[in-house]
Amino acid sequence: MSENKSRWVALITGANKGIGYETARQLGRQGITVLIGARDEERGRAAEVKLKGENLDARFVQLDVDDAATHDKARAFIENNFGKLDILVNNAGVLLDDRTDGVLVPASQTPLDVYRRTFDTNFFNLIALTQTLLPLVKKSDAGRIVNLSSILGSLTLHSDSQSPIYDYKLPAYNISKTALNAFSVHLAYELKDTSVKVNAAHPGSVSTDMNDQGSLALEDGAGTSVQLATLPADAPSGKFIHLGEELPW
């Protein structure tokens, strides 16, 4: 991307807390206008105030990934105020898999409703939002789309009995991230002759509301998203990345 970052505009979904908030914070510190996508107005505006307190150009945008009407309103807001979108970070997601007597519920016993609700947020509605905003990303000189995935979406590692995630099977969540990885590859291919780059990010094991067992600092967890959001023109697209290292699909 060009170095005049003061003219860049980034939208981060689920940005009122956790990795999304820290991603917005780090991008804002680079002079980028950050749009705080959040479904809860009070929390979204609180995040905006905190970032503005650091002299960052942050603006709350009401956006619920699971509400298509907010997708259209967000698109209209961005188009009317900026005319384009340089960075889209699809950060919002859910983890609905449960445990029985402390043991993760296996794939054959995970309720279909859990699969459906997980895929709605982590996959189908993410695609819907991306399709709505893609025309604005294409208007950027060098658009960047970052899809927050997880190493738990890696089929290679899940099928390797020696891998560190082999026994960590969260069926609905993991499979939704596998599907998101596939979408990232297909979208990157579609846009390969444009200046838009699409990549999947594994933030790492970060302690958040979704994951209470994380060991990586929040600042480092946001690092991969920030890196992929600001890739130079000669950087790859259609990759699965964690802190600069490529992961196996």
> Coil, strand or helix: which one is 245?
strand
In contact, 128 and 68? CB cutoff 8 Å: yes
Beta bridge mates, 38: 62
Residue with tokens 């990934």: 65
Residues 6+ apart with CB under 8 A from 34: 10, 12, 15, 24, 25, 27, 28, 51, 56, 57, 58, 59
The residue with tokens 């961005």 is 78
Q: Which of 115, 168, 173, 189 is catalytic?
A: 173
pTM attached to this predicted model: 0.94
Tens-digit pLDDT string for the chain (249 aa):
555 676 999 999 999 999 999 999 999 999 999 999 999 999 999 999 999 999 999 999 999 999 999 999 999 999 999 999 999 999 999 999 998 888 899 999 999 999 999 999 999 999 999 999 999 999 999 999 999 999 999 999 999 999 999 999 999 999 999 999 999 999 999 999 999 999 999 999 886 565 556 678 899 999 999 999 999 999 999 999 999 999 999
- In sequence order, the 6+-apart residues with CB closer than 8 A to the CB of 127 are 183
**What value, to the nearest 5°, has the Cα angle with vertex 141 and ends 148 and 233?**
65
Fold of 5-246: Rossmann fold (3.40.50)
Q: In this structure, what token pair is assigned to residue 34?
A: 């950050």
For residues 116 and 133, give the distance between their C-alpha atoms in angstroms, rounded to a whole number: 24
Known catalytic residue at 168: no
Query: What is the full DSSP assignment across 129-171?
Result: HHHHHHHHHHTSSS-EEEEE--GGG-HHHHT-TTSTTTT---H
